[in-house]
Amino acid sequence: MRFALHGFIEFETLEQMFSYIDRQAGRRTFPTSAERQAYGDALLKRGVESRVVSMLWDKPLEVLLTHTNEDLNHEVLRLRKPVFEGQHWRVNSSTYRDAFARVRAKWRKSVNCWSAGSSMHGRVLSNWYPIAEGITSYGASYDSTEHFWQAVKFHPAVTIGNLLTLLDALDPADWKPWVDALDADQKLYLANTYAVEFLRANLTKEKLAWFRKELAAFDRAALARNLQQRDPAGMRFTALQEKILWGDLADIFHLLYSFKAPVRDRLAEHHFDAIYLGDRRMGFVSPEFRALMLEIWKVKYLKMARFGDVIRAIPIALRLEHFLNDGDSPDIPIPIYVEQLNQIRALALAQK
């Protein structure tokens, strides 16, 4: 069963992940050995949670939650000591145990709000949950909050032809050296790890060709944002398609602009220098754009009674969480997303 660090660096076993963390700890610069160890330990925590809170299978989390801390301690004590000894980083038994204990403590009192979770409430609170009557914001209606979030990343005037032109501009370049340079800048990489790994995974020849093939199915004159809006005749795109086609494509363009790629001027011509909504202009990684998520949730949970009932029904002792295979997001990092999710529940409870 595969799991990941930063959503894109995948492993089959924890042993493989240990070796990766050791290499990463060795290629980064730290003032002290203790800080190098702490860097590796932080990656270990992320990887263990990705392994246990799987998008593929509920069993690992079930096993952890149906055993006690004493059971966990007993099993860890049976392991070799240290659990892993690398050239630059090591895992002792207490650190390994604590990584699992942290996941157990967190998910005993949390609901994972994602579209394929085991909890009905979690699925309904997902951005991907389809809304049969549509959700209206800024004068347009969308099939889910995910449709709204991804659609507004495209300027109202951007056409399919514009997007294909931009893909043509990206195609001749070898993007690997450029992404490797972002990786080599330690300060930039550590502050934007998910974004860099996202670009590494999506700027391949194969992935760019896939985007071009998908867009070729539409009229070149069609407006990208309008295509993603609700059609009373039926849903044009699933929430998954919104994310992996429209969302990922927009994120590539916005991130290339943010990281000052050689095609920056071409991206600005087609308004990928910011988010444009009504008379508002917001930076792609700005607090203003991130706050837009809370705005659309206010419509879903405070104005649409049926969704307000769902979010208020979750016991307040349970924290609302969002975890997707250790993936993050360049536009709204998961910790900010989670805080807003719990904030909207507080507003819904206060409203009642």
Q: Which residue in 256, 282, 251, 285 sits closest to 268, CA to CA? A: 256
Query: Mean pLDDT throughout 48-59?
Result: 94
Examine the domain organization and report whether 64 and 210 are in the same domain: no
Report the helix count and the strand count for the chain, using DSSP H and E. Answer: 19, 10
Q: What pLDDT score was predicted for residue 99?
A: 97
Examine the domain organization and report whether 258 and 320 are in the same domain: yes
E-assigned strands of the chain? 3-5, 9-11, 84-85, 90-91, 110-112, 135-137, 140-142, 275-277, 280-282, 319-321
Q: Cα(39)–Cα(29) distance, rounded to whole angstroms?
A: 11
Residues 6 or more apart from 36 whose CB is under 8 A from it?
Answer: 25, 28, 30, 88, 89
Q: Cα(266)–Cα(272) distance, rounded to whole angstroms?
A: 9
Q: What pLDDT score was predicted for residue 118?
A: 86
pLDDT tens profile 119-137 = 999 999 999 999 999 999 9
Examine the domain organization and report whether 222 and 89 are in the same domain: no
The 10 Å Cβ neighbour count of residue 13 is 12
Residues 6 or more apart from 176 whose CB is under 8 A from it?
Answer: none
Examine the domain organization and report whether 92 and 154 are in the same domain: no
From residue 163, how far is each of 80, 131, 179, 263 by CA, in Å?
54, 28, 21, 13
Q: Which residue in 348, 351, 271, 329 sits closest to 127, CA to CA? A: 329
Q: What percent of the residues of the chain are helix, what percent strand, and what percent coil, each to the nearest 5? A: 55, 10, 35
Look at residues 87, 108, 129 and tell me which one is the last residue of a structural domain: 108
Tokens 């509920």 appear where?
A: 58
From residue 258, how far is each of 82, 197, 261, 268, 295 by CA, in Å?
42, 15, 8, 11, 24
Examine the domain organization and report whether 172 and 81 are in the same domain: no
Q: Which residue in 77, 70, 55 sits closest to 101, CA to CA? A: 70
Examine the domain organization and report whether 301 and 328 are in the same domain: yes
DSSP string of 211-279? HHHHHTTS-TTSBHHHHTS--TT--SS-HHHIIIIIIHHHHHHHHHHHTT-TTHHHHHHTTTTSEEETT
Per cent of the chain over pLDDT 70 is 100
**Please, what's the largest Cα pairwise distance for the chain?**
64
Examine the domain organization and report whether 142 and 124 are in the same domain: yes
Tokens 């294909």 appear where?
A: 164
- 294: pLDDT confidence band, cut at 50, 70 and 90? very high
Coil vs helix vs strand at 16: helix
Examine the domain organization and report whether 120 and 246 are in the same domain: yes
When the pLDDT of each residue in the chain is averaged and rounded to a whole number, the result is: 96
Q: Cα(40)–Cα(95) distance, rounded to whole angstroms?
A: 11
Examine the domain organization and report whether 79 and 183 are in the same domain: no
Tell me the Ramachandran region of residue 325: left when phi exceeds 0, alpha when psi lies from -120 to 50, beta otherwise.
left
Query: Mean pLDDT throughout 294-318?
Result: 97
Query: Mean pLDDT throughout 152-158?
Result: 98
Look at residue 352 and tell me whether its pLDDT is greater than 80. Answer: no
Look at residues 45, 77, 108 and tell me which one is the last residue of a structural domain: 108
Examine the domain organization and report whether 94 and 166 are in the same domain: no
Examine the domain organization and report whether 210 and 100 are in the same domain: no
Examine the domain organization and report whether 137 and 248 are in the same domain: yes
Coil vs helix vs strand at 23: helix
**How many domains are there within the chain?**
2
Instruction: Check if the beta carbon of residue 49 is closer than 8 Å to that of residue 103.
Output: yes
- 14: pLDDT confidence band, cut at 50, 70 and 90? very high
Domain containing 98 equals 3-108
CA angle 102, 104, 107 (to 5 degrees): 105
Look at residues 56, 91, 108 and tell me which one is the last residue of a structural domain: 108
